[in-house]
């Protein structure tokens, strides 16, 4: 029978201590539901004694049916000189009415004397009293030994004594915490191995990422017998973050053969990662292992050629196992294999040694030498291939454009107006529009001329607009690259333009964006 590990998610508590991370009460409920579906065993909802929102969450979650996860409320041992029954924080844990209570206590003698300002003996009594108090009132009590690894290094015997106090009071799991995140994997492994010689209660691990070792440290503890792993989705957490469950889970299941969540559930991992990022209002980390956009992205032509033949040459797992997908990037490093891959992705029939393939590759490298970047502008690259194959038919022809930016005395903002003269399906169009800036005005004028002929453009919006100066030493005469992201509610796509004139670069990207939208609608049989 395969060994198993219990997963304890603290995104809703420890994760929210990360800079810029905040969840509403309903956000926390929605995340808890997704974690339950993923197969997480414990979900730490918050600290009911610290703020009203967490207490409301615990009341709200009682009405939410969970199929797998157990909700845990978090708190601290009683205060020095106060009985467990008289401690307000412990009473708040009871009022949360969860099946699991998790409390932390001090393991480092330095923290006991300097942070708590009490004696070593009183700290042991605080641990015993608090665990015992909760043990009589909860189905399960988890004890987090805060700063345990620092405490073990400073005074091994006292750190172990704190664990024995929690064990004697009936804790179901003793979680060893690297709260400062300063330990390395070899230290974690050796200390966990030593602790197992002195306590019988199951051990857990909770580490922070201040040395970029949180995932490795968690795995080191598991390999030495820890059967309970704490972490957060995407590694959210204070300072450099917590151990990242999005890496720990597939490492346990796929690399170590340890049961953590059902293996089919791994296909939900990327979606859960992005869901939590979205609710946290954080841009997903593109290079995040396993679930990031770049995790299975291939750029070098030799790599792509090999992956086309045998994916395992440059991929350590099948990306679909974690809900991700393979991506092939196009750039000046591309080879013919990249071109063939992208052509197949776009439904274009290309062979390896045809003149068209060579022409696309030559144009690609020439354009990127000029400053074009197609990694974030795959819609522009698809149009480039259409042109090379002779399949491109422009939706309109430009006859002239003019952009005016004027600021009059007393104006708070400059005035921007764009005028375009086009020929659309043989019909002359001459339109003008205002905007918040010159590019916005140009976008409005172009749409105004085209929407009567192509009504689906009304669905399209400009989602993002980025400008990069390519020749920093050239000052205001520098070449500019414009990357535009557009969307229509169903899909988003990127386009690029490059010129010494920012308006011209923006025009190139805007036109590609509209052309791509119309080509896409045509493929789907829409007008």
Element (H, E) at 204: strand 203-207
* CA–CA separation, 105 and 50 (whole Å): 16
pLDDT for 334: 55
* CA–CA separation, 332 and 361 (whole Å): 9
Residue recorded with tokens 């229509």: 488
- C-alpha to C-alpha distances, 59 to 219, 262, 518, nearest whole angstrom: 34, 29, 50
pLDDT for 359: 78
CB 168 within 8 A of CB 129: no
> Could you tell me the residue ranges of all domains in the chain?
6-261, 297-365, 396-453
Exposure on the CB side of residue 501, measured as CA atoms within 13 A: 8
CB-CB neighbours of 318 under 10 Å: 13
CATH 3.30.160.740 for domain 396-453, yes or no, is yes
CB 8 within 8 A of CB 72: yes
Which pair of structure tokens corresponds to residue 329?
């990037």
* CA–CA separation, 515 and 499 (whole Å): 19
Total-model pTM: 0.71
pLDDT for 352: 64
pLDDT for 259: 96
CB 271 within 8 A of CB 278: no
Instruction: Output Rg (C-alpha) for the chain, integer angstroms.
Output: 29
DSSP 112: I
Intervals of the chain under pLDDT 70: 1, 301, 304, 328-353, 375-376, 471-477, 526-527
Per-residue model confidence as pLDDT tens digits over 261-288: 999 999 999 989 988 987 887 878 989 9
Per-residue model confidence as pLDDT tens digits over 80-136: 999 999 999 999 999 999 999 999 999 999 999 998 999 999 999 999 999 999 999
* CA–CA separation, 304 and 341 (whole Å): 8
CATH 3.90.580.10 for domain 297-365, yes or no, is no
CB 132 within 8 A of CB 86: no
Report the CATH number of the 6-261 domain. Answer: 3.20.20.70
CB 416 within 8 A of CB 436: yes
């Amino acid at each position: 029978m395969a060994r198993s590990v219990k997963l304890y998610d603290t995104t809703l508590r420890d994760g929210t201590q990360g800079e810029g991370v905040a969840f509403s009460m309903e956000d926390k409920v929605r995340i808890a539901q997704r974690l339950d579906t993923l197969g997480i065993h414990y979900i730490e909802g918050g600290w009911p004694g610290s703020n009203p929102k967490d207490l409301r969450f615990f009341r709200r979650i009682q009405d939410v049916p969970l199929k797998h996860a157990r909700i845990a409320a978090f708190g601290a041992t009683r205060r020095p000189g106060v009985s467990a029954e008289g401690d307000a924080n412990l009473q708040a844990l009871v009022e949360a009415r969860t099946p699991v209570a998790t409390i932390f206590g001090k393991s480092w003698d330095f923290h006991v004397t300097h942070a708590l300002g009490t004696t070593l003996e009183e700290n042991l009594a605080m641990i015993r009293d608090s665990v015992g108090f909760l043990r009589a009132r909860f189905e399960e009590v988890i004890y987090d030994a805060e700063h345990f690894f620092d405490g073990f290094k400073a005074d091994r015997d006292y750190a172990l004594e704190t664990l024995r106090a929690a064990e004697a009071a009936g804790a179901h799991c003793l979680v060893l915490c690297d709260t400062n995140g300063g330990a390395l994997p070899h230290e974690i492994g050796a200390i966990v191995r030593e602790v197992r010689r002195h306590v019988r209660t199951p051990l857990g691990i909770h580490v922070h990422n201040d040395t970029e070792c949180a995932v490795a440290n968690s795995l080191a503890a598991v390999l030495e017998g820890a059967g309970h792993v704490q972490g957060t989705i995407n590694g959210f957490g204070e300072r450099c973050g917590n151990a990242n469950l999005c890496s720990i889970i597939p490492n346990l299941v796929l690399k170590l053969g340890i049961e953590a969540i059902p293996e089919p559930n791994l296909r939900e991992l990327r979606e859960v990662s992005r869901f939590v990022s979205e609710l946290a209002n954080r841009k997903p980390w593109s290079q995040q292992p396993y679930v990031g956009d770049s995790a299975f992205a291939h750029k070098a032509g030799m790599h792509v050629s090999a992956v086309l033949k045998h994916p395992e040459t440059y991929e350590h797992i099948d990306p679909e196992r974690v809900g991700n997908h393979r991506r092939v990037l196009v750039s000046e490093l591309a080879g013919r294999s990249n071109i063939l891959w992208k052509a197949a992705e776009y439904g274009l029939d290309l062979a390896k040694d045809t003149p068209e393939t060579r022409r696309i590759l030559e144009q690609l490298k020439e354009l990127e030498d000029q400053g074009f970047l197609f990694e974030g502008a795959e819609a522009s690259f698809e149009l480039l291939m259409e042109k090379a194959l002779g399949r491109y038919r422009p939706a309109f022809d430009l006859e002239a454009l003019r952009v005016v930016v004027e600021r009059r005395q007393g104006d708070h903002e400059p005035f921007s107006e764009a005028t375009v003269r086009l020929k659309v399906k043989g019909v002359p169009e001459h339109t003008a529009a205002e905007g918040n800036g010159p590019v916005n005005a140009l976008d409005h004028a172009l749409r105004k001329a085209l929407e009567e002929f192509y009504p689906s453009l009304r669905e399209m919006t400009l989602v993002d607009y980025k400008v990069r100066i390519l020749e920093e030493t050239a000052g205001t005469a520098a070449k500019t690259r414009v990357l535009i992201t557009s969307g229509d509610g169903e899909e988003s796509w990127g386009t690029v333009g490059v010129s010494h004139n920012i308006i011209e670069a923006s025009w190139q990207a805007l036109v590609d964006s509209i052309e791509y939208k119309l080509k896409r609608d045509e493929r789907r049989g829409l007008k």
